[in-house]
Chain A
Amino acid sequence: MPFQPDLVVAKRNNATAAAFRTSAQSGDISSFFAATAETAGVIQSLTANGFQVGTNAATNTSASLYRWFAFKSGTNFSVGSYTGNGTSGLQVPAPFWSDLIWVKRSTAVAGAQLPSTLTGGNAQYFLNTANAAAMITGINASGFTVGTNTSTNTGGGVYRYAVWRVPPTGTLAVDIVDGVGSPVGSPSAGFSSLSTLFTCAETTATLGTSSQKIRISNMTANTNWTLSIGTTAGPTALWNNAGNSNHFDFNDMTGTTPGCSDGSDTDLFAGKLRVEPAASTLANQAGCTSSGILLGTNQDYDQGTVDSIPLIVASSANTECYWDITGIGLRQMVPPEQNSDSYTLGLTLTVTAQ
């Protein structure tokens, strides 16, 4: 075959039990779907371009015809092994939200499987046995959970598993949603009210609240992405009033007192905006984790230098999950004697696959 397999399944063309072997099994040992213990001489090894069989009738009897298929681990397939603890809810790791799970104990215990289309808590045996509970009890973005059935979780028992998923066809998206997850029509963040002052003053706001949560939804297979925020109109944007007659800046760090006096940028306005994601709150969708997701560092916009501020960086994060971010601190320095008015600044949240 054109690749080194991580799972090989073989079945003789007669009444002989099917066998399989995964790359998580070491030495000359293979498993059976039936209630048979692992044994040697079946599929002895997985090689760079195929597999080697022994003399077991399940894989190599003279003049017998065998059918086989194989998978290589990747973004949609994975294999592994675990040791049971006899406690319900044991989490077995897998790199994605699976659509099919196989589990087989190393001893003479029947194997089980759970397709994602089977809901309600039961799983299936490979053999002609009715579905049963407490075997494979749940699927999540980090793998699956098992109950206390001996097919999947006996204390000290060694189990082999293989998982598949239907390749994701969704998208990477960012939106602002309300408390029940519906998109917010005109999301906004309101800064603390301020009176015209003769001195420079700081106002604060929070981006991401319980009624306006930033939701990143990654329904792709890509585990790496970045969420950042920048002004919609680019680095030369200004806070503007409705009549576009009064302004102040958001990224002027070159004034005598940054944010309080106009600096060397091309406009005539002072002001600076600080975004503080470091202490924000990240909530993951049920069944997902925040593993691999890092909050950005607190930064000031600085024209030409910091025009976009990363809020979240995901590396090897869950896929087919969403996360809600709230509590991103915002601090705006308003220059002295700023005319009283209602000002707005347009921002754009962008999530980019890496």
Chain B
Amino acid sequence: MAINTNQQILKNNREQPRTNRARSDKLRHAKHFVVTFAFFCTVISLFICVPIASASTKVRFKQIIAPLNCLFDEVNDGSGAVVYLTPETCGTMIQPQRTNQSTTSTTAATSTRTQPVPSEYYSGSQYLDSEGGSASSQNGYMLIVHAGLVYNFRLPGDSPVGAPRTLEITSIHNGVVTITFGPGDKQTKLVEEQLVRANIAYDAEADVEVTAVQINSDDSAVLHVNFPVQSRLAGKVTGTNNTTTTLVIFWLLTGAVLYVHAHSRYRSRHTRFVDRNWKVEETIK
């Protein structure tokens, strides 16, 4: 028993330094922890702000964008001249200048389209805006087209005496309109509702936007052509009072339109284009 006790004492004595070291380590660790924790708290406190009382409530803003409703009115004034009318927001309607009135039909459903001969429909060049301005271009141009038509135009900055640029309706077939920009014969295809942005001036931005508004089963189509404001021009016009005078866009029409019909003496046909669906609604009176 005594031996055991001594052994125990010896054991305890042997372990004493180890225990002291352990205690010392613990104390050191504890001190280190306290110092670290204090430092951590000090650092954190730098980022803690006094809470500011606030309250909030939510509100929802709503915007409805309705389909674009373009109503084409085709009016025969009785003298044989046909006038196409569209709302201003649909763009400037290209007005055909026909010299031959033999292409009318009795109804839209049974109308026969005569392939136009440019020289037969138009005589000479024509500015879209009779005043020479460009205000009408703000909403672009609405064209009724078929294969073979060529539209001449100039971009802002083009020489007024140089050859104009061209937009040719190369083909319309199976619901696909193929157009070609000249010079350079840059060709692109559009299906109905598709928008194509073309960089024909080879600068940093698209110069022409063409939307296939509607492609008809008789291989005619309605195109919307728009000329987006160019940033280089926008910068220039900032300091002017009349931006429109700086944008001289004019077109020469060399080909044109069909849909011939004079079923009624006045207002013979309405065509409604609904947004990107551009559904056709016809009312024959």
Contact = CB atoms under 8 A, between A and B. Distances in A.
A350 B91 contact: no
A172 B69 contact: no
Given A207-B59, A348-B56, A349-B59, A340 B89 contact: no
A348 B58 contact: yes
Contact of B61 (A186, A344, A354): A344
Contacts of A89: none
Interface residues of A, number: 52
A347 interface: yes
Q: Is the interface of A mostly helix, strand, loop or mixed?
A: strand
Contacts of A348: 56-59
Given A195-B65, A342-B64, A344-B61, A257 B229 contact: yes
A330 interface: yes
A25 interface: no
Given A198-B226, A222-B53, A338 B65 contact: yes
A353 B56 contact: no
Interface in A239-277: 239, 256-257, 261, 273
A195 B89 contact: yes
Nearest to B230: A256
Given A195-B65, A340-B66, A340-B275, A347 B55 contact: no
Given A340-B68, A352-B52, A189 B61 contact: yes
Interface of B: 52-69, 89-91, 138-140, 195, 211, 224, 226, 228-231, 234, 275-276
Given A188-B61, A205-B61, A194 B66 contact: yes
Contacts of A205: 61
A55 B74 CA distance: 108
A343 interface: yes
- Those 10 A-B pairs whose CB atoms lie nearest each other, nearest first: A256-B231, A353-B53, A352-B54, A196-B68, A350-B56, A191-B63, A345-B61, A340-B67, A343-B63, A188-B60
Contacts, number: 146
A287 B280 CA distance: 62
Contacts of A207: 59
Nearest to A188: B60
Contacts of B224: 198
A232 B58 contact: yes
A172 B56 CA distance: 10
Interface string A320-347: 0000000000101010111111111111
Contacts of B67: 195-196, 340
17 contacts: A174-B55, A187-B59, A188-B61, A190-B61, A195-B67, A196-B275, A273-B61, A340-B66, A342-B62, A342-B63, A342-B65, A343-B64, A347-B58, A347-B59, A348-B56, A351-B54, A353-B52
